[in-house]
Amino acid sequence: MLIWRCADSNATTNLVELPLDTVSFLQATPATSDKMLLKIGLDSDKEMLFGFNSRKVMDTVKTSIQQIIARKKTSISVEKEKEADAANANQALAAGTSAGGADGVKVPQTSGSPDTPDDGVKNDEFLADLLNSKKLMKNLALQQRLLRDNVKLMRTFTEAVIKEGMEAEEFWKSRVHLLRSFAIQNNQKKGPYNVLSTIKPVASSDNEVNVNVTRDKIKEIFKQYPIVRKAYDDTVPRMSEGEFWSRFFSSKLFRKLRGEKVNLYDRGDVTLDKYLYFDPDYDGEEDVNEEEVGDHLVHEEKAQELPSHASLSSKAQKKKRKVGASEQMVKKKKVKLFNEVDSAVSKCLDLEGNKEDDPELRGNRPDITMKDDQDPELVGILRTMNRLSRRLMSDITEEAPLEDLDLEFEKELELNDLDETDEVEYNELKYTQTSNISSNIVPSELITKVMNQSNLNPESCEYDEIIKKLKDEFTVEFDLTCVYRNMKQEGKKQNDAYRDINNIVKQNSKQSQQSWNSNLKELLGLPSSAATTSAANNSLTRENTDYDIGIKINLDNGKIESVKLTHATSIEFLRQFWTQFNRTAASTPTTDPNFKSDLIKLRKYYFSVRKCLSRVEAQLARCKDLKERQVEKQMLTPLVEALNAALRRYEDSIVKSK
Amino acid sequence: MDAISDRAFTETAATTAQNIHKVIDETPSLLTVILDVHPLEWKKYMEQNENVEFRHVTSAMLVMLNSHLALNSGNEVSVYVANSFYHGAKRMFPVNEEVLAEESVAVKKEKDTNGSGIVGDNDADGDDNDGDDDDDDELIKVRPKTKTGGNKKKKSSLLKSRGVYGQFKAIDEKILDALDEMYKVEPDRLRQIISKEKNFVKGTMTGAISTALTAINKLQKSDDKLNMKARVMIISVSGDNTLPYVSMMNTIFAAQKMKVSLDVCKLGEKSIFLQQTSDATNGVYIDIKHPSGLIQYLSSALFIEPLLRPIVVLPTNTSVDFRASCFVSNKVVDIGYVCSVCLCILSMVPSDERCPTCFSKFEHKLITRMKRKPKVLPLEVKKKKKTPE
């Protein structure tokens, strides 16, 4: 049973219940799309559409339902397992919540926070599983999804497999790489990124500013900006979550964290902007400490957050309103002091490195962050960005185990220059020019003929004749004016030549028009708008001009498509034929237990190639217009040649029994 | 390898609005023409195209050189011959006087030894040969004189000079003289070139190209003509079998690095290596379909200054055949084998199971597997008998 209920426990009205064994298909929006919808089709031809606001949650739901259905279909499911899975699904589903918003800010509700499973290890196994060719071949769902995704492939598939009866397994066998890349593409995970920079307020039609935030993004924000989390913790019980976020996005704090410059006269938010003056290093310094300890950031943060949260909330409960900003200032100082005392100074300082990096030694101004009179705003922004990247980086190293720091120091201390240098070894190739000698310019038959001639009364060979003629040519005076006169005498040959050159240039210019146009614009310093429009035009007309066969194609798109389809299908069968042909050629009855069946299979493929040829002929015959047929014929000639070559090769290989 | 594969012709990107005038400014350039004089190929070509003669091509070439010189007073030309059996690849213009003097001595010596080597034959040969020998002797005597100018009047009759601009005349005459002399010195019989001690024939197209590139490099490095732009135009009649593949590729890479375009004016059958040459060096490859209109090709399609290349649509053949040739049989390969060690290209499995170029041993097992014949069933479905191998 699939139960869809509102996470808000008091809204019991919109409850959806589906018996799982009636589910007939699942369809989810691809990972690339912004929407997160899951379509569930039922046996009763009903379809339900579920919207999610977290892809992770949706994927979990999808996979669990998929598993359930798969089990149901193979009918090896034990009732208990099913229930367990269903329960799992329910749990996951609980995370999917309806979207609500205040002040035009669309924010999911707080309750029922997602309990997504930690997919670190699971993902790895999953991937290894995915890349296994055998499993890929069996993964029908994946294949279907790929087909749905790739229209071109779908067309080939329907033509070759469904209509012409090629085995689906054969079809996929030659396309395992596609399946693999598709599987990987669908299971890729996004690394940490600067969340705030991706949030862009959008002005709506009714003069409201809308900001779309997903739960994932909020999670990321909390992770990357502990200060926001702190502000949230401090304020949210008092104001609603929606209000908090809407105020946050219009606050100066938001601008500052994003790395924008905060103007004094900007409209801010009184409550939240006090966090501007909160020690910015409040967490950053701690991060450094914790990194050295080698803990994971998330865990530390959680650990860190808990006591502080506890203390804070208890404090907050006691003297809620009395102590405002001043309290926090004290706390900030505490934190700072604590850090200064405790922060360990690295014992290994790279003095040489410092010398190298000091710009002042070279007569330059000091680094932007090191100047006395530097605008604190600017430095602040730089620091914020640095802090952010530090956090992001520490998040990534979470996956790769940190290298032992001691080892690193040891490496640094090693005196590498005393090591013996590795000598580069080369494998000497003795290149001999067997074919490269210039004697090639005289055919060897002629040489032997000349060499074997008796010296007495030698026959004159081809060379002797021509050299005499060439010599004679230099006995007559050269008149350069005859160059043009001759041409005229022979009937305006210069016009033929001119036309010849012109045709080539026309053909080439068509091909290079696009790049040429933009080049010219660039050369003349003009905006390249014309170039882009011509590019757009090109892509529009491309359908008809994209073929380099030296003819103009005046066919309508439908005809071109049908030619393309015939071509693609035939290539499919050809591919199959050659794969099998080469495989059987390399194997013997002793090495291959299926040798006999392979031979029979090969013969089957031979006949399907033959059928392809007749299909091409039928395609041409279907074309009534003579001119069009000519064009189609020209387009298909290479294919016909390829098909005939395959047939000929097979026929040649038949050993005639006596 | 990166440096080699670097497509050296990316100047388009560097030309921007600021330097357009500078770039398209008229600066003098060098035009090098390589004339293929392969006697046998010329014979073949002249048989196929009855109204084409070598002298027509030479005249057209001279007109092209003249027009190049006319474009800019600083422009220069040079002419090379390739595939001449006797001389090899040789510069015809500008003539290096010292080399010429040395060569004439060498030629004379060679002649003498040749003569003495087959003295008996010569005597027995009779009148024909004697006459020729006389001619040759006379020539050798005459040549130094022509250079010093003693016999100039007699020689200059080769070019009908009435109405020809003086500077053109001087250069054209020199080129014609050089060609004339080349043919005069060239022995009448192949037998005289191919003898037992010297059984190879000199001077491939690649030799001529690399000599030309060397000269261009020298010119571009010299102080007074620093970085003078240059291009090479090849008038070729020979087929691909006369082009040694590896040397050809090496000259292509050299030209690529020097940013010298190699244009190809192809008479006769197509040459895929020359197609590759011009494709790799941003040059023009053009098959001459109307040989009597040759001058039209030479003065338009093959007349594009190096500086104009980035902005002109080249009238070149864009569908290039990129096949390579077999290192052993020197034939162009469709499907072949490649040595995994030295990447040499083979059209067949070598019988000794070793790479003919680097002598790496191939694995016997693989070779036998490769050599196995394909096994198929006969077409009659009723006979379900497996074919014996």
- Between the CA of residue B74 and those of A538, B23, B227, B303, what are the distances in Å? 43, 17, 13, 17
Q: Which range, A154-168, A373-387, B160-174, B375-389, is most confident? A: B160-174
Taking 50 as the threshold, does the pLDDT of residue A129 lie above it?
Answer: yes
Q: Do A654 and B376 touch (CB under 8 A)?
A: yes
**Contacting A residues, span 259-278, partner chain B, CB-CB under 8 Å:** none
Q: Is residue B142 part of a domain?
A: yes
CB A112 within 8 A of CB A96: no
- Residues 6+ away with beta carbon under 8 Å from A228: A221, A222, A248, A253, A257
Q: Assign B78 to helix, strand or coil.
A: strand
Distinct helix (H) and strand (E) counts, chain A = 28, 9
When mean pLDDT is compared across A352-366, A591-605, B314-328, the lowest value belongs to: A352-366
Tokens 């609603």 correspond to A240
Separation CA A231–CA A246 (nearest Å): 13
CB B314 within 8 A of CB A508: yes
- ipTM associated with this complex: 0.72
When mean pLDDT is compared across A369-378, A399-408, A457-466, the lowest value belongs to: A399-408
pLDDT of residue B53: 85
B316: chain A residues, CB-CB within 8 Å: 504, 508
**Contacting B residues, span 298-317, partner chain A, CB-CB under 8 Å:** 300-301, 310-311, 313-317
**Contacting B residues, span 97-156, partner chain A, CB-CB under 8 Å:** 118, 121, 124-125
Distance between first and last Cα of chain B = 45
pLDDT of residue B382: 45
- Residues 6+ away with beta carbon under 8 Å from A631: A551, A553, A554, A555
A524: chain B residues, CB-CB within 8 Å: 17, 20
CB A218 within 8 A of CB A99: no
Helices A215-224 and A376-396: angle between axes, nearest 10 degrees: 110
Distance between first and last Cα of chain A = 71
**Which of B311, B339, B356 is a domain's end point?**
B311
Are residues B242 and B360 both part of a single domain? no
**Which of B247, B277, B311 is a domain's end point?**
B311
Domain of B304, in residue numbers: 2-311
Backbone phi, psi, residue B264, to 5°: -125, 125
Chain A nearest C-alpha distance from B27 (Å): 19
Q: Do A480 and B43 touch (CB under 8 A)?
A: no
Taking 70 as the threshold, does the pLDDT of residue A291 lie above it?
Answer: no
CB A174 within 8 A of CB A571: no
The residues with which A38 forms a beta bridge, in sequence order, are: A28, A50
H/E element, A357: helix A351-357
pLDDT of residue B147: 39
Are residues B144 and B198 both part of a single domain? yes
Q: Do B301 and A504 touch (CB under 8 A)?
A: yes
Are residues B231 and B359 both part of a single domain? no
Q: Do A480 and B172 touch (CB under 8 A)?
A: yes
Q: Do B328 and A435 touch (CB under 8 A)?
A: yes
Taking 90 as the threshold, does the pLDDT of residue A440 lie above it?
Answer: no
**Which of B259, B286, B311 is a domain's end point?**
B311
Q: Which of A214, A267, A226 is nearest to A101 (CA)?
A: A214
CATH tag, A1-97: 2.30.29
- Between the CA of residue A143 and those of A132, A133, A178, A575, A589, what are the distances in Å? 14, 12, 10, 20, 34
pLDDT of residue A295: 37
Are residues B26 and B164 both part of a single domain? yes
CATH number of residue B266's parent domain: 3.40.50.410
pLDDT tens, position by position, A557-566: 778 788 888 8
Are residues B279 and B383 both part of a single domain? no
Taking 60 as the threshold, does the pLDDT of residue A260 lie above it?
Answer: yes
Structure tokens at B299: 């003065």
Q: Is residue B240 part of a domain?
A: yes
A 10 A CB-CB count for A147 gives: 17
Q: Is residue B318 part of a domain?
A: no
Q: Is residue B70 part of a domain?
A: yes
H/E element, B345: strand B345-346
Q: Is residue B317 part of a domain?
A: no
Task: Please compute the mean of the pLDDT values over residues B356-365 and round it to a whole number.
Answer: 83
pLDDT of residue A282: 56
Name the H helices within chain B.
2-5, 11-14, 20-23, 39-48, 54-71, 97-117, 119-125, 127-148, 152-155, 166-185, 190-193, 205-221, 245-258, 272-280, 294-296, 364-371
Q: Do B202 and A602 touch (CB under 8 A)?
A: no
Query: Domain-by-domain residue ranges, chain A?
Result: 1-97, 195-315+324-342+363-401, 482-538, 557-653
Chain B nearest C-alpha distance from A576 (Å): 15
Backbone phi, psi, residue A48, to 5°: -120, 140
Taking 60 as the threshold, does the pLDDT of residue A481 lie above it?
Answer: yes
The residues with which B206 forms a beta bridge, in sequence order, are: none
Are residues B305 and B339 both part of a single domain? no
Computed over its alpha carbons, how large is the radius of gyration of chain A? 38
Are residues B244 and B389 both part of a single domain? no
- Residues 6+ away with beta carbon under 8 Å from A401: none
Q: Is A595 exposed, middle or buried (0-12, 13-18, 19+ CB in 10 A)?
A: middle
The string of DSSP letters for B157-181 reads GGB--TT--HHHHHHHHHHHHHHHH
When divided into structural domains, chain B yields a total of 2
pLDDT of residue A316: 41
Q: Assign A252 to helix, strand or coil.
A: helix
pLDDT of residue A64: 75
Q: Which of A201, A219, A221 is nearest to A211 (CA)?
A: A201
Taking 60 as the threshold, does the pLDDT of residue A122 lie above it?
Answer: no
Structure tokens at B51: 């109204």
Q: Is residue B316 part of a domain?
A: no
Are residues B46 and B190 both part of a single domain? yes
Q: Which of A302, A287, A289 is nearest to A393 (CA)?
A: A287
pLDDT of residue B251: 92
